[in-house]
Amino acid sequence: MWKTNDPDVKKILYVQTHGEKDPERTATPFFLATAGAAMDNEVCIYFTMNGPQCLAKGNGEKIIIPRKGGNGKELKYFIDQALEMGVRLFVCQPSLDLHGYTMDDMIEGVEMIGGAAFNDMAVRADAVIAF
């Protein structure tokens, strides 16, 4: 949930619905969130539908962002960058069930919220951007 009460700090919520089947759609939310955090905004990413696959242990190394000509980067690079800038990562509880995950399958630092908390975050955000 949002931490800031400072009206000067803008809140951006990204929503990631894609997972391991769509590697080319996995890095950008982390990437934009990192830039958003570097601009002194409070930034969170909510992972729902196939999104939690991005945060499953081992998948950061397994999911390679394809790039023309090869030399794709591991998704982990983008996840670590976002975490280092203070971006917070939330998973949706029913989406964990969908993939047979528990919180133990998620990488360090991931927080869990449900649908009500997500909607509350969305209405209080300055921007919600969904992928």
Partner 1 sequence: MDVIKEDQVLDCSGMLCPMPVVKTSKAIKTMEVGQVLKMVATDPGAPPDMEAWSRQTGNELLRSMQEDGKFVFFIRRTK
Position 38 contacts partner 1 (CB under 8 A): yes
Integer Cα distance of 83 and 78 in angstroms: 9
Q: Is 39 in the site for partner 1 (CB under 8 A)?
A: yes
**3-state DSSP assignment of residue 18:** coil
Among 31, 77, 101, 131, binds partner 1 (CB under 8 A): 31
- Shorter beta-carbon distance to partner 1: residue 26 or 95: 26
Tokens of residue 125, six digits: 């955000």
Query: In terms of CB distance, is 35 or 98 closer to partner 1?
Result: 35
63-83: b or e for each residue (b if 16 or more CB lie within 10 Å)? bbbeeeeeeeebbbebbebbb
Q: What is the DSSP string of 28-56?
A: HHHHHHHHHHHTT-EEEEEE-TTGGGGGB
Q: Does 28 bind partner 1 (CB under 8 A)?
A: no
Interface residue with partner 1 among 22, 24, 40, 61 (CB under 8 A) is 40
Least separation in angstroms between residue 81's CB and partner 1 is: 7
Helix or strand run (H / E) with residue 74: strand 73-74
Shortest distance in whole angstroms from residue 64 CB to partner 1? 17
Where does this chain bind partner 1 (CB under 8 A)?
10, 31-32, 34-35, 38-41, 81, 85
